[in-house]
Chains A and B, each alone.
Chain A
């Protein structure tokens, strides 16, 4: 199998410099992403503070089972991603491909479970709008508006992540990443972990707070 050549772009002097630039670039991009989600988290905090009862009431209508399963699925996918990066680092290409594939499958699994959950919400009329079921309890609609916007935006990021990982899997199935050059895998991994961390915040905010079983 041919190796992915550590292509040095012409603007750089050394591979080291190129790697440093890529790393700083992806971290800066993740900082942007944090702020992007930050607007939504701010809105959530403001309204949770203004309407604590409505939010506690509304969060009872989310599906804890789906949410918990999805948390487990996504955390596992972070493990397989970390293993993928390590495999790339050690030049074990078959393990790399397998780990990436596992991560992709888990990502798709996450979206499927999320889809089932959305379907249930539609059936129970929990989507904000004219058909909204909890109109007797004011401000619960705000919770569900935030719920759909936050999980929806997160879902789009998962989808983008699956796209990135697919490209990486395709690359590594045809060529070898080596311990000298695996920057793309590392960068893709950082992005995937970010998407995972966002969910780690969404899960307690949307499913757990004030939920006395």
Chain B
């Protein structure tokens, strides 16, 4: 197209300048269910994932209660199997994967890049509906009796022997999976084509980089999960299939395909958290990100290497030793980009003007907990050590440090950081800091004893255990109660703040970034006029604490 053709398009562009009403101005149910506004869709996701989180957390609470005593006296072993399956399935697919991408990503990505919306707003709404349809299938499976395979659906148990509602649960994950694929697709296209004038790739906030990497994984890995669960379900319905040893099928092939998705999926459950932390650390230490380009490329490197390490889930599953060696080596490589991130965050803090608002507390917790989770991952990437630790509580502790200590903490950091933008109100700072502290203590008390338990040899997924393990289990259950309080507090004070919180100004943190240049809450089309970007991100002037407090 030449210039004469493009010029009139400026007139075609809708008049959004006079739209000063904020995005929450309509109140009808219909205005929510048929919205194509990325901010409202973010809110829809927020409410939905909190609902699923509550169910999954309840399942965890019953499990921790059962494990208070060595005997299996609270629930039957079958019920226990269903509890950990509910917990795993809902937490992974219906809470963690959509948590930061679909809630915070949806809300802030278009604003961060100076766009009016994502590239395909209707598709964005469709993603939410697919997610909810998948969720409905999962809830149906739970209500009619549950599933006892664990979240991994290993064959031939899932395809042949399990007497539970495997197919409807797999269907739920399949459908919700297409929702995440479309979300990923939307983000990729949005970041490529919708950036404001002057906003080059290396001026993008690191949150965008990390969500871009996440979206690549969503788009390229999720279809493998879909086809794998599909094949498993067909095998279960048809009574014959490619994972069935009776006809020469190989059950380990299921594990290969499953982990080809699920290992990258683990990085869907950490990269977005890293993105939030990069935003928060720079803001609350008033400094430029140390080694910006390295942190940006580390996200892509984690996404890329993530596709090559799936075999480390199968060291004891009958995979060849030589394959095991390579997967072990490649798994160690993941530590390099992860290390780059942790060191660069630390270097950013160095000599910064640090203040400890709630998002910062959560982000600092993230760095510590993620480091511990990551380093114990190296234990598990070591072939010989893994043989000892496979299927013990060491694994459980390791991935909870990443997924809960990392991702959920990152989600809380982001939710508090952008809460003024989302709601137009400030949350009560002291309550927020208290909740961050309680969460940190509760989390460590819950999961640190599990490292010890696993090292001592307690296997996961049993409802009863030898009495000598009781002390660690009691500590863990006590920690879980504290953690529960830590998660309940924000629910209470954030709801309270909607009515009684201090009115938030445009940029309460004095942060850089385009999302802070528009009002809180933002107008329907985000900006009064399209912003033009002339500088890189995190261009923080040196500030003294007094300045920040007077701001």
**Chain B residues with CB below 8 A from A141, complex form:** 240, 247-248
Asked if A175 is at the interface (CB within 8 A of a chain B CB), the reply is no
**Chain A residues with CB below 8 A from B241, complex form:** 145
Asked if A105 is at the interface (CB within 8 A of a chain B CB), the reply is no
Known: A32-B220, A129-B240. A20 touches B181 (CB 8 A): no
Q: Which of B516-534 contact A (CB under 8 A)?
A: 525, 530
Chain B 3-20 interface 0/1 with A at a Cβ cutoff of 8 Å (1 = within) = 001100110111010000
How far is the CB of A142 from the nearest CB of chain B, in Å? 5
Q: Let me know if A51 and B248 touch, CB within 8 A.
A: yes
Q: Let me know if B224 and A11 touch, CB within 8 A.
A: no
Chain A 122-146 interface 0/1 with B at a Cβ cutoff of 8 Å (1 = within) = 0000001100000000110110011
Known: A13-B9, A139-B248. A21 touches B189 (CB 8 A): yes
| 29 sample A-B contacts, Cβ–Cβ < 8 Å, listed by A number | A11-B115, A12-B194, A13-B9, A14-B10, A15-B12, A16-B1, A17-B194, A20-B193, A21-B189, A21-B193, A24-B189, A25-B120, A28-B219, A32-B185, A32-B223, A35-B220, A36-B226, A38-B224, A39-B227, A39-B228, A39-B231, A39-B257, A40-B227, A43-B257, A129-B238, A139-B247, A141-B240, A145-B240, A146-B242
**Chain B residues with CB below 8 A from A149, complex form:** 231, 234, 242
Complex: how many Å from CA A22 to CA B220?
Answer: 19
How far is the CB of A199 from the nearest CB of chain B, in Å? 17
Q: Let me know if B231 and A43 touch, CB within 8 A.
A: yes
Q: Let me know if A21 and B194 touch, CB within 8 A.
A: yes
Chain A 191-203 interface 0/1 with B at a Cβ cutoff of 8 Å (1 = within) = 0000000000000
Interface residues on B, range: 35 or more
Complex: how many Å from CA A25 to CA B241?
Answer: 34
Known: A11-B115, A39-B224. A145 touches B120 (CB 8 A): no
Interface residues on A, range: 35 or more
Decide if the interface of chain B is mainly helix, strand, loop or mixed.
helix
Across the interface, name the chain B residue whose C-beta is closest to A33: B223
Q: Let me know if A145 and B247 touch, CB within 8 A.
A: yes
Interface positions of A (Cβ within 8 A of B)? 8-17, 20-21, 24-25, 28-29, 31-33, 35-40, 42-43, 46-47, 50-51, 54, 128-129, 138-139, 141-142, 145-146, 149, 180
Q: Let me know if A31 and B220 touch, CB within 8 A.
A: yes
Complex: how many Å from CA A25 to CA B121?
Answer: 13
Q: Let me know if A35 and B10 touch, CB within 8 A.
A: no
Chain B 160-192 interface 0/1 with A at a Cβ cutoff of 8 Å (1 = within) = 000000000000000000000100010011101
| Residue in A10, A28, A46 whose CB lies within 8 Å of B16 | A10
Q: Let me know if A11 and B231 touch, CB within 8 A.
A: no
Q: Which of B239-272 contact A (CB under 8 A)?
A: 239-242, 247-250, 253, 257
Q: Let me know if A28 and B188 touch, CB within 8 A.
A: yes
Asked if B116 is at the interface (CB within 8 A of a chain A CB), the reply is yes
Asked if B295 is at the interface (CB within 8 A of a chain A CB), the reply is no
Interface positions of B (Cβ within 8 A of A)? 1, 5-6, 9-10, 12-14, 16, 115-121, 181, 185, 188-190, 192-194, 219-224, 226-228, 231, 234, 238-242, 247-250, 253, 257, 525, 530
**Chain A residues with CB below 8 A from B194, complex form:** 11-12, 17, 21
How far is the CB of A103 from the nearest CB of chain B, in Å? 25
How far is the CB of B34 from the nearest CB of chain A, in Å? 16
Q: Let me know if A32 and B219 touch, CB within 8 A.
A: yes
**Chain A residues with CB below 8 A from B226, complex form:** 36
Enumerate the 10 nearest inter-chain pairs by beta-carbon distance, A residue then B residue, closest first.
Answer: A39-B227, A36-B223, A11-B117, A139-B248, A14-B9, A35-B223, A10-B14, A21-B119, A21-B193, A141-B247
Q: Let me know if B192 and A24 touch, CB within 8 A.
A: yes
How far is the CB of B222 from the nearest CB of chain A, in Å? 8
Q: Let me know if A11 and B119 touch, CB within 8 A.
A: yes
Known: A10-B14, A39-B231. A138 touches B248 (CB 8 A): yes
Q: Let me know if A36 and B116 touch, CB within 8 A.
A: no
Across the interface, name the chain B residue whose C-beta is closest to A20: B193
How far is the CB of A164 from the nearest CB of chain B, in Å? 15
Complex: how many Å from CA A20 to CA B231?
Answer: 35
Across the interface, name the chain A residue whose C-beta is closest to B188: A28
Across the interface, name the chain B residue whose C-beta is closest to A129: B240
Q: Let me know if B242 and A43 touch, CB within 8 A.
A: yes
How far is the CB of B494 from the nearest CB of chain A, in Å? 29
Complex: how many Å from CA A21 to CA B121?
Answer: 12
Complex: how many Å from CA A9 to CA B313?
Answer: 45
Across the interface, name the chain A residue whose C-beta is closest to B235: A145
